[in-house]
Amino acid sequence: MSGDAQDAPPQQKAAPPGARRADPLMATAAAAMDRAVKSFSRAGTRLSEGMSRAFARENPHSDDLPPATAPGAGAPIGRSASPMKKPALSPRLLLDAAAAGFSLGAVGLLGFLFGAFVYLAPRPADDADLWAVNRSPSVVILDRNGEELAARGARYGQQVSVSELPPYLVKAIVATEDRRFFEHRGVDFRGSLRALLSNLRAGRVVEGGSTITQQLARNLFLSFDQNYTRKAKEALLALWIEGRYSKEQILSIYLNRIYFGAGAYGIDSAARTYFGKSAREVSLAEAVMLAGLPKAPSQLPPTLNPGGAQNRANEVLQNLRETGAISEFEARDAVLHPAVVAGGDSNADIGWFFDYVAEKAYALVGGPTGMDLIVTTTLDRKMQRVAEAAVKSALGVEARTAGAEQAALVAYDVNGAVRAMVGGRSYLESQFNRATQALRQPGSAFKPILYAAALENGVTPDSIFVDQPVDIDGWRPENYTPGYQGRMRLTEAVAKSTNTIAVQVSEMIGRGKTVEMGKRLGIKSDLQPIASIALGGVNVTLEELAAAYIPFADAGWAPDTYAIDRIENQNLELLYERPAVKPRRAIAEETAEGMTHLLYQVMTTGTGAGARLSNRDAVGKTGTTNDWRDAWFIGYSAQLVTGVWVGNDDFSSMQKVTGGTIPARIWKDFMAGAHQDLPRLPLKGAYPAATYADESLLLGFYRDVAEGLREVRRDGDVRDGRRRRR
């Protein structure tokens, strides 16, 4: 049964095509006022007639009275004027008058109050408001495969009408919330009487007895206070709603607005939240579970209380069976095959990534839009789990003993897509994202930028330098290992992270070349051409330094890093899709190969040996700052580039934690797990340095030594732009 024309009040006439329907509630108010006026007229007539009859009884000869004396006329001379006798009012007449007056006042007051309430009652200006009122936008993020990772805020799915839903879902809702929904006109007086008796017995409001229409009225306009004033308003608004909309429309609006728990508003959002599918596709077992949630959505969401949700679903199923809405066979099948809640990854602490993505998503669509956003990201769910496990494992007892409280990790593929991100030890403890927000000194992890500039300016992996004391305007950098080792090739200097040679290279090619290379590789933080830039004496974020290594892994190409592929609203309308963007050429392919060759030595014989992978080529660089405040490891394979930072938020020192210890362990654990399902690809440039075993190579080595000595002498003779006298 639906609210069609036969359900409209008799006085209503069909509106002409295109005309807006009259407001039924306003019509009701006008009718009430009209009844009050008619009551007033009837009471006045009754009072007038009663007064006339009483006057006649008390003055039977009233028709023989002389005409009234004209004003100012005196009485005849010699006779006194006798006064006219007033008619007496009997008690019956007074009672009739009082009754009429009370009736008039009561009807008039009720009509006025009802009319005033109707006039002032909140109502949507337009039918569309019924769908839009009180919506608060949400953000749902999906992984690279379209599976939901997390959601925040109230979520609304697609708007659906009851005609689109499985019949058993509609029947389950009606059987649970309002069995007589298709029979009453907004207020179920039988149910209200039952609720009233229950409340009187309890001495307080314990049962609502509200119909679906009343619940919708409350959801749209009223508070959820349990009192009789609110119930009266709710009933009046329900009558107005029933006079304006059909039963199907009312039920559709209701199902698209009510709360189902877990942040899900509306039947479609609930189906997607709990079962990963549209409400149009739910099974009977899923339908009865959804139908049982509106009674106690905060206590019964199957994600938090699966047992309670299932018990409630069984009650709904029994209601359907009792009403004949489903067969015994269907009920038995639903019991044998209960609903299975679609599990998100409850252990995936991706709060940092969520914050990172939400900010970028709003920027891409022009700020908060008032719409729900569904953001398809680049995150790889499996790699994210591996990253979280690696960080958690490394920050155990050993790290705490060493005074290392925090760590961060970010991983990109060679196209610049973020595949994993961990911003710290625990998102619940701290929402600060150390992978993207913390500006820290990278130490020797910055040296590859210097050496890339050096390779472009004539230096080769086999170039000879001398590890010796260096003085740059009073600044005397030292190596991590005390002492000096004399002549060595650049490959060895990089493997051992020799500071004195890094400074010599920087001064030889010019500090500005390092700054310029950093910008080309994607560093956005401020870089100044100071002497200590050779040793990473700058502040950068982990995400930008890790991204700067991507051209080394991908033949010199520098992509724009990104975390979002597409953005849609709740109706799956496309708001943004990442365009196909070609990477830019940052360095020559030969330079990238040379850098891979240099960093390969770090993994085989140098400070990063602890991070070496056993099943594929990978290279990287350690970084440690003064007083052990920061420890880094950044490296790559042919498919992934990953950066790791370890330290403390208050910049306090750790106990000799270097890049080759905890950071290298995190990096290795992550890369080993992340590559399990990836094909093994060669990394161009990843080969050992030459050993110079034969005489021809040895002669070449000595020639390089001599050339290196000349370079060192020239560098020592040039100071502040002028040649020193010999």
Among 304, 336, 368, identify where a domain stops: 336
- Whether residue 298 lies inside any domain: the answer is yes
Both 330 and 253 in one domain: the answer is yes
CA distance readout (Å), 37 to 24, 31, 107, 200: 20, 10, 9, 36
Residue type, 82: S
pLDDT tops 50 at residue 694: no
Give percent above pLDDT 90 in the chain. Answer: 54
Statement: residue 160 has pLDDT above 50: yes
Residue 595 lies in a domain: no
Same domain flag for 105 and 170:
no
Query: What is the average pLDDT value for the chain, to the nearest integer?
Result: 81
Say if 293 falls within a structural domain. yes
Residue 183 lies in a domain: yes
pLDDT over 80 (residue 163)? yes
**Chosen domain end from 306, 336, 366:** 336
CATH code of the domain containing 164: 1.10.3810.10
Q: Which domain holds residue 170?
A: 156-336
- Within 515-666, strands assigned E span 557-558, 564-568, 574-577, 584-585, 619-624, 630-636, 640-647
Residue 591 lies in a domain: no
Please tell me whether residues 99 and 173 are part of one structural domain: no
Distance from C-alpha of 504 to C-alpha of 16, rounded to nearest angstrom: 91
Unique residue bearing structure tokens 């979520």: 155
The answer to the question of residue 303 being in a domain is yes
Residue 71 is predicted with a pLDDT of 40
Strand partners, 466: 487
CA nearest neighbour of 451 among 685, 722, 164, 217: 685
Same domain? For 227 and 318 the reply is yes
Does 221 reside within a domain? yes
Q: According to the model, what pLDDT value does residue 371 have?
A: 82
What are the backbone dihedrals phi and psi of residue 377, each rounded to the nearest 5 degrees, phi first?
-105, 180
pTM above 0.85, yes or no: no
Q: Are residues 99 and 243 in the same domain?
A: no
Question: 228 and 177, same structural domain?
Answer: yes
Query: Are 115 and 218 contained in the same domain?
Result: no
pLDDT of 602 > 90? The answer is yes
Q: Is residue 266 domain-shared with residue 221, that is, in the same domain?
A: yes
Domain end call among 336, 353, 387: 336
Please tell me the distance from the alpha carbon of residue 70 to that of residue 12, in angstroms, as a whole number.
57
- Predicted confidence at residue 182, as pLDDT, reads 85
**Same structural domain for residues 104 and 216?**
no
How many helices (DSSP H) and strands (DSSP E) are in the chain? 24, 18
One domain for residues 42 and 171: no
Average pLDDT for 485-489: 95
Q: What average pLDDT does the segment 493-519 reach?
A: 98
Establish if 296 belongs to a structural domain.
Answer: yes
Same domain, 272 and 160: yes
pLDDT digits (tens, 9 = 90+) for 238-293: 888 888 889 999 999 999 988 999 888 899 999 998 998 999 999 999 999 999 99
Q: Are residues 166 and 312 in the same domain?
A: yes
Of 38 and 473, more confident: 473
Number of structural domains the chain divides into: 2
